[in-house]
Amino acid sequence: MQRIILHIDMNSYFASVEQQANPFLRGKPIGITGKDQIRSVVATASIEAKKLGVKTAMSTWEAKKICPSLILWPGDPEKYSDIMHRFNAIYREFTPHIEPFSVDESFLDITEEAEDYFGATYIAQMIRSRLKEELGDHITASIGIAPNKLMAKLACETVKPSGLTVVQSDDVIDLLNRCNLTDLCGIGPRIHARLNTLGIKTFQELRAFPLEDLQREFKSYGLWLHEASHGRDLSQGVTSDIQDIKSYGHSYTLPQNTTDPVILKRYLFGLADKVGWRMRRDGVVARRVTAHVRFGNFTNHSEQRTFNEPTADGKNLFEVAWSILRPHLKSDVRLVGLSASLLCQNPSQPSLFKKERNMQSVLCALDTLQHRYGSGVWKRASTLPIEFKPRSSGFHFDHEV
């Protein structure tokens, strides 16, 4: 059966997320960098920066030389990962057949949902408007629709930024003929150079080249190249990423060992809010919380408790985790953490109790803000004095147990 595949690619992803979060950056050339801006490269250039000649992977000093008005902005991987979960959740409203390809690209198989290319275009437009509604005006996507992943991705490349295109089976040869060999995902500089040595510079020439000779030169990849030149994709279809997450957890190694309950409470509360947010974002609630502490001498203690009512509210998670840990905080603490498990889908029913209902609507409003501006857009007053610094060890966000 002929498939209908969507390839959705966010435009200048990291830069757009920052522009969405910070109005000061909108309409300006910005380059997202690593922490050390002087020795870093541009991970993503905004659309405005690209127009002025800044390219991805360019060193920051070179980018500044080309575009002196370029604003270098340190990247925030946690924010990008949050938004990635958010847009993949939007795609799941339309089909369960989703394969994330990179942090800002996904393939969707919408054959059953769309029925034909007219339906596919409609779904693509609906996805666009849901993205705008949930993520804001500044995070935009390009969408390619085609009979397989390879052609959908190539089609998407041709309409960047912010385009939408449909390439049906009869049109794939036309599409290939309009493209350069290196536009195709799978033909990198080394394969390209070897093809050039064989006198192959276009898809027409690749198509005309005998398969046996291609296989002699490229072994099994020769068949892939031959098929690709005809717009056929030898890879398997969209492999759904149904994740079977068992728990959501965060732990943090404190800047200094301490026994001060005020400091420990702040960190634990901050971590509980992170866990609660990720659960609400994924539409689940938990019936169990496990609290974890590591002492200065590297001994550990962890204990769990089960809720009567499942929850995804950071405050509930914190209160139980704190009641577990409190009696054990007699010597210096090095690390605190908690995880939520026994997950089930959030029934989204309003609580019977007024106080709970009010809290649910506050959380709902705060989540809308986080969806739009990224996690970290709000903090509880009690956790204001602390900051979670991402570290290569000791800090695990999106840590799944």
Nearer residue to Mg ion within complex by CB, 105 or 282: 105
The radius of gyration of the chain's CA atoms, rounded to the nearest angstrom, is: 25
Q: Of the ranges 99-107, 251-259, 316-324, 389-397, which one interacts with Mg ion (CB under 5 A)?
A: 99-107
- Here the contacts of 101-105 (C-beta below 8 Å, separation 24 or greater) are 101/7, 101/153, 103/13, 104/9, 104/10, 104/13, 104/80, 105/7, 105/8, 105/9, 105/10, 105/153
Could you tell me the smallest distance in angstroms from the CB atom of residue 269 to Mg ion?
36
Query: Which residues 6+ apart lie within 8 Å of 372 measured at CB?
Result: 20, 134, 135, 136
How many other CB atoms sit within 10 Å of the CB of residue 263? 17
Task: Using the structure block, give the residue that is written with the tokens 């609630």.
Answer: 285
**Annotated catalytic residue 105:** yes
Residues in binding contact with Mg ion, number by CB under 5 A: 4
Q: Identify residues 12-41 at the interface with Mg ion (CB under 5 A).
A: 13
In degrees, to the nearest 5, what angle opens at C-alpha 361 toward C-alphas 359 and 365?
Answer: 115
Residue environment code for 54-70, b if the CB has 16+ CB neighbours within 10 A, otherwise e: beeebebeebbeebeeb
CA distance 378 to 266: 15
CA distance 71 to 170: 45
Could you tell me the smallest distance in angstroms from the CB atom of residue 100 to Mg ion?
12
Say whether residue 104 binds Mg ion (CB under 5 A).
yes
Could you say which of 5, 6, 8, 9 contacts Mg ion (CB under 5 A)? Answer: 9
Could you tell me the smallest distance in angstroms from the CB atom of residue 186 to Mg ion?
17
Q: From the candidates 105, 113, 157, 356, which is the catalytic residue? A: 105
104 labelled ligand-binding: yes
Nearer residue to Mg ion within complex by CB, 10 or 271: 10
183 labelled ligand-binding: no
Could you tell me the smallest distance in angstroms from the CB atom of residue 104 to Mg ion?
4
Could you tell me the smallest distance in angstroms from the CB atom of residue 32 to Mg ion?
12
Say whether residue 157 binds Mg ion (CB under 5 A).
no
Query: Which residues 6+ apart lie within 8 Å of 344 measured at CB?
Result: 284, 285, 287, 310
CA distance 75 to 14: 7
Q: At what angle do helices 189-197 and 220-229 cross, to 10 degrees?
A: 90
Nearer residue to Mg ion within complex by CB, 13 or 295: 13
Nearer residue to Mg ion within complex by CB, 104 or 282: 104
Q: Of the ranges 8-16, 130-138, 187-195, 212-220, which one interacts with Mg ion (CB under 5 A)?
A: 8-16
| H or E, element range at 337 | strand 333-345
Q: Of the ranges 3-11, 131-139, 236-244, 274-282, which one interacts with Mg ion (CB under 5 A)?
A: 3-11
Query: Residue 279 carries which side chain, given as an amino acid letter?
Result: M
Q: Of the ranges 17-25, 45-53, 76-84, 98-106, which one interacts with Mg ion (CB under 5 A)?
A: 98-106
Could you tell me the smallest distance in angstroms from the CB atom of residue 380 to Mg ion?
34
Nearer residue to Mg ion within complex by CB, 102 or 361: 102
Nearer residue to Mg ion within complex by CB, 13 or 252: 13
Q: Which residues are annotated as a binding site?
A: 9, 104
Q: Can you give the binding site for Mg ion, defined by CB under 5 A?
A: 9-10, 13, 104
Please list the active-site residues. 105
Q: Which residues are annotated as a binding site for Mg(2+)?
A: 9, 104
